[in-house]
Amino acid sequence: MLSVVTGQEIGRAYRTDGTIPMQADNTNDQNACANDPREVSKADADRIGELARTDREAASIELARVIGPCMARKGWRIAITGADIPGIERPAIAALDAVLDRLSSALPLKVDQNSDLVQVKRHKADVVYTMKVRPESQGTADELRKFYAADPRAAEAMNKSLMKKTYCTTPPNIFLKAGVAISWEVFDEKGLVWRIRLTSDDCL
């Protein structure tokens, strides 16, 4: 897989349908995803553009990560070069990325009566699930924000308890067991409502 920023190899591309991957097809699909404002937000484009000024290779890799869900919908499975993470076996990361690709292709998904899962991404050993509060539930988001402002320790304990019920299972969640951390972040029209991070140590 060649970077659309530098033309250098930044990873390997595979077809999920088992067909032989063609570089020209991969480049065309990369360009289509990278130039689609529905896939690369202005904020992401600005951030990647700024990064490219000092580290074009890093910008190439970040762009590949951002368009990953789009590429997955086009039938591509991308393995980024140099994506090894100390302490975590490569097969575990590959399995996690495959799960995240499938999930991303199905977004948005209803989480509960108030919010939807709108994005899931991995940054090194952290997986971040981003949820958006629906406009009709803004009142609930306002109450949660007030709760965090009044008693952040209690609010964090409440949300971490919810995460533990979800991920601290028997047998243990395979990704937490492998050393990956999981974060939930919730946004509304005003910005971040709350964010919480869970590691395997929290399940002890």
For residue 187, the domain's CATH number is 3.30.300.250
Residue 114 located in a structural domain? yes
76 DSSP β-pair partners: 15
List, for residues 49-67, the tens digit of each pLDDT value: 887 887 777 777 788 888 9
Residues 107 and 196 in one domain: yes
The count of structural domains within the chain is 2
Q: Six-digit token pair at 97?
A: 């990325």
List, for residues 178-202, the tens digit of each pLDDT value: 888 999 999 999 999 999 999 999 9
122 DSSP β-pair partners: 127
Residues 116 and 178 in one domain: yes
To the question of pTM greater than 0.85 for the whole model, the response is no
Which run of H or E residues covers position 185?
Answer: strand 181-188
Q: What does the alpha-carbon distance between residue 99 and residue 40 come to, in Å, rounded to a whole number?
A: 21
Residues 39 and 113 in one domain: no
Give the model's pLDDT for residue 134: 94
Q: What does the alpha-carbon distance between residue 81 and residue 163 come to, in Å, rounded to a whole number?
A: 32
Q: How far is CA 62 from the centre of its chain?
A: 12
Full residue range of the structural domain in which residue 141 is found: 103-203
Residues 56 and 25 in one domain: yes
List, for residues 21-49, the tens digit of each pLDDT value: 888 898 899 999 999 999 999 988 988 88
DSSP strand pairing (181-188 vs 126-133): parallel
Domain endpoint, select from 23, 55, 83: 83
Residue 95 located in a structural domain? no
Residues 28 and 56 in one domain: yes
List, for residues 103-122, the tens digit of each pLDDT value: 888 889 999 999 999 998 88
Q: What does the alpha-carbon distance between residue 141 and residue 193 come to, in Å, rounded to a whole number?
A: 7
